[in-house]
Amino acid sequence: PLAKPVDEVPAGTLTTLRHKARGCRACPLWRYGTQTVFGQGPAAAQVMLIGEQPGLHEDREGVPFVGPAGQLLDRALGEAGLDRSALYLTNTVKHFKYETRGTAKLHKRANAAEQAACRMWLAAELLRVKPKLVVGLGAMAAQTMFGNAFRITRERGVWRPLGEGAQGLATWHPSAVLRMPEEQKRHAAFGELVADLRAVAGALE
């Protein structure tokens, strides 16, 4: 149900896919990271959350959303009444990308070719999990789901059909919320993220 094309979707169970993705060389990002950060969660999850790409913490631990963005997401999920362990959590791109500045590794956004190369894994996860509800966190996931014209600022929180009875919406990326310099805007965006996640919880009932 992705708006953007995928050449060939890898076959197999989530466990098989996770193993295959470990050795992925479809784009140059494997050279950067410690490991592939594959999705996490039950194969029978009704809800899939799609982020952007792993950061430093995720790269080290091999698990999506464990750094500062993950902590904000956990808080939002809690307020919305969603249990993280029941969700399937993944990213649009499964490798960390960075530039080094001194000893620091500064996050760098995966480009269009890297996103395209990685899309087969997301397509495979969607095919295996078959979530009823899909949440795109941030523009990268939203545009992968709904196309490049999608704007979070205009269209966040709006359900759209994704085919095969599934629906999706996109909302703020937790990192985007964290980066907002003004406390008031940050607070408002966090409230919108919680409201959108509440709508997801409501749609499950």
Site of interaction with ligand URA (CB under 6 A): 51-55, 58, 64-65, 67, 69-70, 91, 175
At residue 110, the 3 state secondary structure works out as: coil
CB of 65 to ligand URA, least distance (A): 4
Nearer to ligand URA, 55 or 184 (CB): 55
Helix and strand numbers (H, E) in the chain are 8, 7
Query: Nearest distance from residue 173's CB to ligand URA, in Å?
Result: 6
User: How far is it, in rounded angstroms, from Cα 100 to Cα 31?
Assistant: 14
Q: DSSP string of 28-56?
A: GGGGTSSS----BS-TT-SEEEEES---H
Q: Which residue is nearest to ligand URA (CB)?
A: 51
Toward ligand URA, which CB reaches closer, 53 or 143?
53
Distance in Å, CB of 10 to ligand URA, minimum: 20
In the complex, least distance from residue 144 CB atom to ligand URA, rounded to whole angstroms: 12
What is the separation of C-alpha 193 from the centre of its chain, rounded to a whole number of angstroms? 14
Q: Which is nearer to ligand URA, 69 or 184 (CB)?
A: 69
Distance CA 93, CA 115 (A): 6
Of 49 and 133, the one with the shorter C-beta distance to ligand URA is: 49
